[in-house]
Amino acid sequence: MVKFFLMMKMDRKIDKPLILVTNDDGITAPGIRALIEVMNRLGEVVVVAPESAMSGKGHAITINSTLYCDEVKIDDGPQREFKSNGTPVDCVKLAVDQVLHRKPDLLVSGINHGSNSSINIIYSGTMSAAVEGGIEGIPSIGFSLTDYKWDADFTAAKHYVEIIAKKVLESREHLPLPFILNVNIPAIPLEQIRGIMVGRQANAKWIESFDKRVNPHGREYCWLTGEFVNFDQGTDTDEYALENGYVSVVPISFDMTAYHLIDRLKKWNFHE
């Protein structure tokens, strides 16, 4: 009985929110190090992230090969960290099933080096990790800075990451689940950011082109490249927010049903 009360007391003592951190740029990327720094101020932090860059891995999972997940020490912070050869989504699954002993109060993914606004969400490992958190019933946020550079300035991003993560943690008892946010921060100085704008995913896409080359053995290969085009004139989109100096917040769903087409398709006579 004494033991039981002691445990209760200990539990109360460490009753900080449990925060799972991941990304797709790899566990040593400056973006995730900035995210860990902020999260250490808000709760008990556990990092499970890819050991190498996993950009563009979307919602890929590792079925046909093996997964490693090893504890590592990268800096002097209080967080525990694990690196894996898996994708960002694998990292979330490993964290939930293998590493953590209770469901985290929050999952944060990023800070991504580069925008994940509009259609980019579907290709992004960072956002797919957040979506996987949502599927697992964890309030989840993907953070991205619209600057692809490795040495990007995360000062303004850290400011808004803390505001938004704190608000989600404070609201966590009353959040409608699944709860997933796609947060993009414009790469401009903090004092130029005009605030936070909540909106929808813009209708935009990449127009691909392939850079064709010949390898030293004479075989043709190519690199995927492309140009981002925004078809959307709306003033309620993530692209509009970013272009106008706002931090963009888009709530995300993993129900991909196109509900507006169901009635139309029900009227189709497939056998006529």
Identity of the residue, 11 or 208, whose beta carbon is nearer to a copy of itself in the bound complex: 208
Binding mask of the shown chain, residues 16 to 55, with x at each position contacting a copy of itself by CB under 8 A: -------------------------------------x-x
Select from 13-21, 147-155, 184-192, 261-269 the region that touches a copy of itself (CB under 8 A).
261-269
Task: Give the footprint of a copy of itself on residues 85-104 (CB under 8 A).
Answer: 87, 89-90, 93-94, 96-98
Reported as type and span, the H/E element at residue 9 is: helix 2-13
Helix (H, G, I), strand (E, B) or coil at 81: strand
**Span from 4-12, 30-38, 145-153, 260-268 in contact with a copy of itself (CB under 8 A):** 260-268
Under the criterion CB under 8 A, does residue 227 sit at the interface with a copy of itself? Answer: no
Under 8 Å between Cβ of 216 and 233: no
Q: Which residue of 63, 73, 218, 227 would you call a contact of a copy of itself, by CB under 8 A?
A: 63
For helices 30-39 and 155-170, what crossing angle results, to 10°?
40
Pair 80, 100: CB distance under 8 Å: no
- What are the beta bridge partners of residue 197? 248
Closest CB to a copy of itself among residues 77, 204? 204
Write the CB contacts of 209 (distance below 8 Å, at least 6 apart in sequence).
225, 226, 227
Q: How far apart are the first and last CA of the chain?
A: 74
In terms of CB distance, is 2 or 64 closer to a copy of itself?
64
Binding-site member from 28, 30, 69, 100 for a copy of itself (CB under 8 A): 69
80 and 54 Cβ atoms separated by less than 8 Å: no
Binding flag, residue 235, a copy of itself (CB under 8 A): no
Give the 3-state secondary structure of residue 186. coil
Could you write out the DSSP letters of every residue in 100-129? -SS--SEEEEEEEES---TTHHHH-HHHHH
Q: Which of 100, 188, 193, 198 binds a copy of itself (CB under 8 A)?
A: 198
| Residue 221 makes contact with a copy of itself by CB under 8 A | yes
Binding pattern for the stretch 119-158 against a copy of itself, x by CB under 8 A and - elsewhere = x-xxx----x--x---xx----------------------
